[in-house]
Amino acid sequence: AQSVSQHNHHVILSEAASLELGCNYSYGGTVNLFWYVQYPGQHLQLLLKYFSGDPLVKGIKGFEAEFIKSKFSFNLRKPSVQWSDTAEYFCAVNDRTGKLIFGQGTTLQVKP
């Protein structure tokens, strides 16, 4: 069965610090990988997604993620975080039906 693991449950950073959130998945076949973000009081929104091709994908708001097949990883990065990046971040993989399997989520708190 597919599963997704996010290593960091709660991350606290100061503004301008660099961010890297870990995500590992287990799935033997072709994967589609996603990062979703949930800002306080808002619904889940797509940050970025990977299907194939260039393993470094760029998303909205300066986020990027790198797919490393050999490590079954899809880590999220941002060079310089802002207070407005405070949110909960979810990594997910989907199966052939399209349903999403999410990790536990990482709460990011950015101090101004």
Partner 1 sequence: DTGVSQNPRHKITKRGQNVTFRCDPISEHNRLYWYRQTLGQGPEFLTYFQNEAQLEKSRLLSDRFSAERPKGSFSTLEIQRTEQGDSAMYLCASRPSGTSQETQYFGPGTRLLVL
Provide the binding-site residues for partner 1, judged by CB under 8 A: 4, 9, 32, 34, 36, 42-46, 49, 51, 90, 92, 94-105
Residues near 37 by beta carbon (within 8 Å), at least 6 away in sequence:
44, 45, 47, 87, 88, 89, 90
Nearest approach, Cβ of 53 to partner 1 (angstroms)?
A: 12
Q: Is the Cβ of residue 16 or residue 46 nearer to partner 1 in the bound state?
A: 46
Nearest approach, Cβ of 60 to partner 1 (angstroms)?
A: 12
Determine contact, residues 65/48, Cβ cutoff 8 Å. Answer: yes
Query: How many CB atoms are closer than 10 A to CB 10?
Result: 10
Q: Is the Cβ of residue 91 or residue 110 nearer to partner 1 in the bound state?
A: 91
In 3D space, the residue among 6, 21, 5, 7 whose CA is nearest the CA of residue 85 turns out to be: 21
Nearest approach, Cβ of 102 to partner 1 (angstroms)?
A: 3
